[in-house]
Amino acid sequence: MYQIINISATGCSLFFFLTIYHLLHLPTSLSAFLVAVCRCVTFSPFKWLKFPPQRNCEDLPLNTGAADNNSSLVVCFGEMLIDFVPTVGGVSLAEAPGFKKAPGGAPANVAVGISRLGGSSAFIGKVGDDEFGHMLADILEQNNVNNSGMRFDCSARTALAFVTLRADGEREFLFFRNPSADMLFHESELDIKLLEQAKIFHYGSITLIEEPCRSTHLAAMTIAKKAGSILSYDPNLRLKLWPSPEAAWKGIMSVWDKADIIKISEDEITFLTGGDDPYDDNVVLKKLFHPNLKLLLVTEGSEGCRYYTKKFRGRVTGVKVKAVDTTGAGDAFVSGILSNIASDTSLYQDEKRLREALAFANACGALTVRERGAIPALPTREAVLKILQNIPE
């Protein structure tokens, strides 16, 4: 495009100077007439050229997913990145012969999971103005997630993470964000109208690590809460991303009492309670259940989950499957329960209906671990209902 324009400019310039040359060699009377015409008309050979304007980052077109102006919209806020997962299981990152590229990031996983289950979801976050960033925006659109709240950063790259499940069952992470675009999300870039539409506003803790994203996170919570949204919190502890364990504990707990729904894992209970028994209900209720909390969920992998409300508590058995990759299992679980609550916000007041919804969420998590990568493995509603039919009551 620019090469063609430059050639055109050169041609116009040559035409102009050749015209002047010939004017100088015309008969005097005709030459005088043409000069008079030129004085009456502002002439520039370059006025015809249309150069495209310099593209600014804020002018980048956004890929908009499905319109989500309904009463069950779940808006997920936070990071979206590229996961690189080993092509074989049971090895360390150093031992992996190769990696498969997959879209990831807990809040984005939840948004896609809800949409794939037939729900309505949106994602708000920031990625780099690079190939990976635009690929992620396209993936959200392809999965019918409203991505109008996404922003692109010209100065930082999309975050990358290498993740593997070692032979000992432990997950190993290696992150590349120094800083990544998600960390540079400014409050002025928030889509306020989208936040105000949320029936549920879901978030994690990674966006609380650094400024300016931390202030943006807090502002988004305030806007959503003021608009009447249910606040859903999955800390998604990643200690390696925090300056120190103390900073992680302080950051995670700084918004703890604002949430209406909290989902945590056994390991996170141990960390947040200073090493207490994660299976002790009294520990959970005394140290983690705050007065404004409507529902506290504890995931236990293939064993299922525990639930705590102000009126009742219990456990729902999990679904046993052969695990290939546990990445995204917790996010799939969150997708399952939030998609149900978004359709029925009184769900956690009825234990029978809550248990049914949690069985559904457990199945979502189980189906996800059977494939590599998070988003590619998230199940459809039909797949979840099919596996639930095969479970004896």
Per-residue pLDDT of 206-260, as tens digits, reads: 999 999 999 999 999 999 999 999 999 999 999 999 999 999 999 999 999 999 9
The strand pair at 261-265 and 230-233 is best described as: parallel
Helix (H) or strand (E) holding 82: strand 81-86
Contact (Cβ atoms closer than 8 angstroms) between residue 188 and residue 118? no
SS3 content of the chain, % helix, strand, coil (to 5): 45, 20, 35
For 198, phi then psi, to 5°, come to -70, 125
**10 Å Cβ neighbour count for 16?**
14
Task: Output the six-digit token pair for 236.
Answer: 């998604």
pTM of the model: 0.82
% of the chain with per-residue pLDDT over 70: 81
Helix (H) and strand (E) counts for the chain?
Answer: 12, 13
Q: Residue 219 carries which side chain, given as an amino acid letter?
A: A
Under DSSP, the state recorded for 187 is: G
Q: How far is CA 272 from CA 99, 123, 139, 239, 275, in A?
A: 33, 28, 34, 12, 8
| Least-confidence region, from 174-178, 282-286, 340-344 | 174-178
CA nearest 187: which of 238, 151, 229, 154? 151
Residues 326 and 165: beta-carbon distance below 8 Å: yes
Q: How confident is the model at residue 88 (pLDDT cuts 50, 70, 90)?
A: confident
Residue positions counted in the chain: 393
